Amino acid sequence: MEVTNTNGSSFQHTIKQELAISGAGIHTGQAVTMTIKPAEPNSGITFQRVDLTGKPTIKADVDNVVETNRSTTLQSNGARVSTIEHLMAALVGMQIDNVLIEIDGEEVPILDGSSQPFIEALEQTGVIEQNAPKVYYTIDRNIIFVDEHKKVEMVALPYNGYRVNTLIDFNSPVLGTQHASLKNIADFKTEIAPCRTFCFFHELELLLDNNLIKGGDINNAIVVVDKPVTEEQVQRISKVFNKEDVKVNSEGILNNLELRFPNEPARHKLLDVIGDLALVGFPFKAHIIASRPGHASNVQFAKKIKEHIKKYKNKVDVPKYDPNQPALIDIHEIEKTLPHRYPFLLVDKVMELTEKVCIAVKNVTYNEPFFQGHFPGNYVMPGVLQVEALAQTGGFLAIPRDTEDQYDTYFLKIESCKFKQKVVPGDTLILRMELLQPIRRGICEMKGTIFVGDKLITEAVLVAQIVKRPKA
């Protein structure tokens, strides 16, 4: 697995201004109003039950899923919110990373049974880029989930993008076997979002008997009739939903609506997969293939993906260092850029340099002058010198190299600094600095990480000022 930061969606996004959506929950029948608000970078998707004492929050995370019967339900801090999948899919489709969703009831409104109303509302309010990088996790092996009892098979394949294929087979003479695919998340809005939820006619009575679909309306669901039904049964459903002239079309679909796509049920299952997998909590790249998916299997699959990402999360950003590869910038060129000299020049060579990232190497030997006093008999490289080595690496991102002018760098701030492993003689430090935002007025903010092999040793966010040295 590796981390990528792609062009086009390399930064996180939220909405420009808050928006309100009202409607009834399909199962509870409760009228609810949601207010979706912008949120800070790295905050993710959070629901807040504003109708409850203390206004508890619920993180949209697979670890908070407590129920998957007919929809996906989250619970945390004593609060629940259900039927979240269509809204979550819309947020993924709009590539929105951070929002707070205030809701005054237990269930997200069903609206027309698809993601389209949410997409339209989000488009109307607008989406803005935030000043924080968006990190995608890319898997390097297949992740497989199988439920033999339900005949469910799901796999996430390595892929440099986000692609989804679904297959449904309910052994139904009406639906038959259907496939759906989404090759690019940018096509979600037109190809998948309009597709509505569906159920079978024989399920309606069971749902009603179990006190569900109180907010159901046959205008927000495709009703498939694949078994013989009596006129009595049809009339009962007509009365429940307060509809007249309800009939079964020759295609085996109630005459409440027309299909938006010939394979609309399969496309809606794909929509559910995207919404449920959003609960992984990490943006990831993969080709998802799902055969006979459902909310329960989607959630179990999401848990496997999350576990995999968490297991390899600390190894994903390790720069690849090949000692046989010649230096991009050797020690002689380094001296022409950095003002530092022995014994304080802590970068031996630069291996990679782009507009945003610099990767350098520092070979730590017993001959370092600081080892005489830190610590005699237990030689450990001081943490402050590790941070200094990072800062010098960042100098190649900040200091102009196409000029004869000389520059000095001064620390303004060091944040979130963590030392995870000690550095000893013989270690080869791989220093990685990433520019977090464009340099303005000589101020640069960078995230630094140090690795020895594939182990993360040190990390910190550094803010420094670049100052031109006065000419003699």
Contacts of 424 (CB under 8 A, 6+ apart): 364, 379, 380, 381
Q: Which amino acid is at 244?
A: E
Parallel/antiparallel/unpaired status of strands 136-138 and 284-291: parallel
Helix (H, G, I), strand (E, B) or coil at 102: strand
Q: Confidence class of residue 211 from pLDDT cuts 50, 70 and 90? A: low
**CA dist., res. 303 & res. 305, Å (int):** 5
DSSP string, 274-318: HHHHGGGSS-EEEEEEEES--HHHHHHHHHHHHHHHHHHGGGTT-
How confident is the model over 253-307, as pLDDT tens digits? Answer: 675 568 899 999 999 999 999 999 999 999 999 999 999 999 999 999 999 999 9
The residue ranges of every structural domain in the chain are: 2-195+262-315, 331-468
Q: How many CB atoms lie within 10 A of CB 122?
A: 24
Q: What is the dihedral of CA 50, 74, 201, 29, to 10 degrees?
A: -10
On whether the CB atoms of residues 293 and 147 are closer than 8 A, the answer is no
First to last CA, the chain: 51
**For residue 408, what pLDDT is reported?**
85
The rounded percent of the chain whose pLDDT value lies above 70 is 89
The reply to whether omega before 375 is within 30° of 0 (cis) is: yes
Rounded-to-integer distance, Cα 224 and Cα 457, Å: 58
Given a cut of 80, whether residue 202 has pLDDT beyond it is no
Domains 2-195+262-315 and 331-468 share a fold: no
Spatial separation of the C-alpha atoms in residues 71 and 86, rounded to whole Å: 10
At 97, list the tokens.
Answer: 């990373």
Token reading at 2: 């590796």
Do the beta carbons of residue 73 and residue 82 sit within 8 Å? yes
The answer to whether domain 2-195+262-315 has CATH 3.40.50.1100 is no
Does this model's pTM top 0.75? My answer is no
In this structure, the chain runs to a length of 472
Smallest Cα–Cα separation from 97: which of 60, 64, 123, 68?
A: 60
Name the residue among 433, 309, 423 with its Cα closest to residue 366. 423
At residue 465, does pLDDT exceed 50?
yes
Tell me if 89 sits within 8 A of 271, measured CB to CB: yes
Give the chain's mean pLDDT.
89
Residue 157 CB-density burial (10 A; 0-12 exposed, 13-18 middle, 19+ buried)? middle
Superfamily of domain 331-468: Hotdog Thioesterase (3.10.129.10)
Tokens at 223, concatenated: 């009703």
Distances in whole angstroms, Cα of residue 139 to Cα of each of 155, 165, 444: 12, 17, 32
Tens digit of pLDDT for each residue in 40-92?
999 999 999 999 999 999 999 999 999 998 899 999 999 999 999 999 999 99
Structure confidence at residue 360 as a pLDDT band (50, 70, 90):
very high
Closest alpha carbon to 87 in 67, 63, 111: 111
Residue 446, beta-bridge partner list: 435, 462
- Cα-based angle 121, 39, 31 (whole degrees, multiple of 5): 45
Q: Looking at the annotation, which residues are catalytic?
A: 295, 374
